[in-house]
Amino acid sequence: MKKIFTILRNAASTLCAAAIIGSCGISAAANDKEYDLVSSPVPEKILVMGDSIATGYGLDGYDKGRENVQSYSNMLKDEFSSELKVGKEELINKAIDGQTSWELLEDIKKGEYDSYLKSSDLILISIGGNDLLHTLYGYFSENTDYGVSLKDLMTDHSVGDLVEIYSGLSKVLEQKIEEYGDNLKEMSAYIKGVTDARVILQTLYNPLDTTEKPKLFMAFVKSKINGLNEKILENEKDENGASNYSVADVFEAFAGQGDTLTNIKKIDIHPNADGHKKIYETLDPIIRETSYTIEVEKPKAEPAQSAPKAEKDELSDGTKTALLIGGGAVLIAIVVGVMTYAKRKGN
């Protein structure tokens, strides 16, 4: 009889387990992922770096903050936010008025932009104009290191003197152009080591391209701007042929319109409102040449409705089923146990 009781006890345990499973069910694992990764024709996170062209200097409202002007970067931000509508669009403008390529490179190497680089889908860079301008100002300043002051230049000079002055200035600027190319190369290598975000670099426009006189000086300026743009094109790919950045040819977009797309009539080389619109129109199709992976928040699942409570004296269907299965198991176990015991006793 002891063995029969053991069999009955095990059968009862089976019955209880079946009842618990039948009444509770099996819970599905919760999906705690909040965002889906989807392909988009425009980026969600944009970082702007560079000089005063990128800050929007010279536009109406700039004195109240760069976020208040119709700069090309703000135009892109408004367009993409309207198009995406996912609530996470962001454009961070870290450009600095007067910044040169070597100053930008130093800040990048210090890691000052690392967090922004890592979180960006697209990086827009405008840099290089100040490499020429600072050198020009330094060359003709009163405390110049080059031996020529603006006051000296305004006095009478022979053709031979002018040729010598321009020759000396040309050598200084050519050195800066070479350094600019080196800076681009080092800058690109660093950025690629930190992020896989796409980078677009703008060429430099010529604000004096519609000014004819003095011819010698105009030709001189054009040749040096061309020199910077050649460095941009030379460094578009690295030594292995991999892309460092895409080029937005703002120089070509502004060609023959320097007087209408800049503030040059006010002795200011910066783009005016029409100029910023032109840069925006130049960048937009280039940005859309590739797709971007962005995060889109998943719609929240509807809360599951709880089953109506059963009457106190009524079991759930699952429990009833479990009890029937468990009860059958107990009956079978009892029959088998009794038959086994009787057989042994008969022997």
**Alpha-carbon span 120 to 160, nearest angstrom:** 53
Q: How is residue 264 annotated by DSSP?
A: G
327 and 293, same structural domain? no
pLDDT along the chain (347 residues), means of 10: 44 40 38 74 96 96 93 96 84 97 98 97 97 82 56 60 77 95 98 97 96 82 95 96 97 97 94 98 97 81 59 49 45 43 47
| CATH classification at residue 263 | 3.40.50.1110
Domain encompassing residue 67: 36-297
264 and 336, same structural domain? no
249 and 172, same structural domain? yes
Count of Cβ atoms closer than 10 Å to residue 332 Cβ: 11
Number of domains in the chain: 2
**Alpha-carbon span 23 to 243, nearest angstrom:** 62
250: in domain: yes
64 and 17, same structural domain? no
204 and 75, same structural domain? yes
| Conformation bin of residue 237: beta by default, left when phi > 0, alpha when psi is -120 to 50 | beta
| Cα–Cα distances in angstroms (integers) from residue 21 to residues 197, 275, 306, 317, 319, in the given order | 51, 72, 18, 12, 8
346 and 242, same structural domain? no
48: in domain: yes
199 and 169, same structural domain? yes
6 and 119, same structural domain? no
For residue 37, give both structure tokens.
């990764």
Residue 287: partners with Cβ closer than 8 Å, 6 or more residues away: 42, 43, 76, 122, 200
Which residue type occupies 26?
A: I
66 and 203, same structural domain? yes
Residue 158: predicted pLDDT: 63
User: Would you give the distance in Å from CA 239 to the centre of its chain?
Assistant: 25
Distance between first and last Cα of the chain: 16
pTM of this structure: 0.74
The single residue listed with the structure tokens 């200035």 is 169
328 and 287, same structural domain? no
Residue 308: predicted pLDDT: 56
Residue 326: predicted pLDDT: 47
